[in-house]
């Protein structure tokens, strides 16, 4: 599938993408330090950790809100026990002032309770008294190691009516991202897309994070996408530090194209915020 012609200058597109970027953090011990390196009032997505569970996500969410950040908690379906637990979570988030949530399926091999998938949770939440202005769901431009493409497409079509935007998993090739957006548009999914990109990532730092959390949330996350080998090649080729310049530059010209409807970028920081922020400011100053 050929890409459409760019509609925005690269410089304007880069500024658009990076000025209002969303930052994803993991709710580990380093969270309190990492958040201090982000801009005041920034939008922060907080993951659900297989080791810490959803309670850590909720606690970090409440803390970050009190510090003045816009927070988007991940409410991973497989970590929610049942309808009552979901209602408790929704009430707690509403009372904290949360208006935007992200609902992935979750990395647990076996669900905590009755929710097998994001669709199960979303359809249940839809019938509750609590609601959120924005609801994000997951997209996979490079596929999923354990789920075939047709199943992924069908799942997205089921979830789309309950969502207001899509966040993509990591992908290191801008053309692949753009072609994937064209494919979902052809299937009738017109939700805005927030493109997931890696932040500046130091290989040694990634290993330290993985060792610290035992099984390694970060490595498990990377392995969910079929593009993990591409990442490893880029990381090795970069002599130990990856920077997403080529990815940002490739996406930038398409930012204001209504067909692609790119909402912005979602930076997977892997709790390496100082390096990512230094890079982001450098790009904005060019």
pLDDT in 10s for each residue of the chain, 286 residues: 446 666 668 789 999 999 989 999 999 999 999 999 999 999 999 999 888 999 999 999 999 999 999 999 999 999 999 999 999 999 999 999 999 999 999 878 889 999 999 999 999 999 999 999 999 999 988 877 677 888 888 999 999 999 999 999 888 789 999 999 999 999 999 999 999 998 888 766 655 654 544 334 445 555 554 455 555 666 666 567 888 898 999 999 999 999 999 999 999 998 889 999 999 999 999 7
Residues 230, 100: Cα–Cα separation, whole Å: 31
Q: Whole-prediction pTM value? A: 0.89
Q: How far is CA 100 from CA 83, 94, 250, 266, in A?
A: 19, 10, 28, 14
C-alpha span between 63 and 67 (Å, rounded) = 7
Block residue for tokens 């930076």: 267
| Token pair belonging to 14 | 């880069």
Tell me which residue has tokens 């753009």.
178
The third-level CATH classification (topology) of the domain covering 10-285 is TIM Barrel (3.20.20)
**Number of alpha helices (DSSP H) and beta strands (DSSP E) in the chain:** 12, 10
Angle, helices 149-159/118-125, rounded to nearest 10 degrees: 10
Residues 31 and 272 sit within 8 Å (Cβ to Cβ): no
């Amino acid at each position: 599938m050929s890409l459409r012609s760019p509609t925005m200058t690269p410089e304007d597109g880069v500024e658009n993408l990076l000025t209002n970027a969303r930052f994803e953090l993991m709710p580990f011990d380093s969270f309190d330090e990492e958040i201090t390196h982000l801009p005041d009032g920034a939008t922060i997505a907080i993951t659900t950790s297989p080791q810490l569970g959803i309670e850590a996500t909720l606690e970090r969410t409440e803390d970050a809100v009190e510090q003045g950040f816009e927070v988007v908690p991940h409410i991973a379906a497989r970590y929610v026990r049942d309808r009552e637990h979901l209602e408790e979570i929704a009430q707690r988030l509403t009372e904290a002032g949360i208006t935007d949530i992200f609902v992935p399926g979750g990395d647990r091999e076996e669900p905590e309770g009755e929710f097998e998938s994001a669709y199960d949770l979303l359809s249940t939440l839809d019938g509750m008294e609590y609601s959120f202005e924005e609801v994000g769901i997951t997209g996979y431009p490079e596929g999923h190691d354990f789920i075939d493409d047709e199943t992924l497409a069908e799942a997205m079509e089921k979830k789309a009516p309950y969502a207001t935007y899509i966040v993509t998993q990591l992908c290191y090739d801008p053309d692949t991202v753009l072609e994937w957006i064209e494919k979902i548009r052809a299937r009738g999914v017109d939700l805005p897309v927030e493109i997931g990109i890696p932040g500046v990532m130091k290989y040694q730092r990634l290993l330290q994070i993985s060792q610290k959390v035992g099984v390694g949330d970060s490595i498990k996350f990377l392995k969910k996408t079929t593009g993990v080998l591409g990442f490893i090649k880029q990381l090795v080729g970069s002599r130990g530090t990856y920077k997403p310049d080529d990815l940002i530059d490739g996406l930038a010209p398409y930012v204001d194209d209504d067909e692609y409807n790119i909402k912005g970028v979602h930076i997977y920081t892997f709790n390496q915020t100082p390096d990512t922020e230094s890079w982001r400011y450098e790009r904005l100053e060019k």
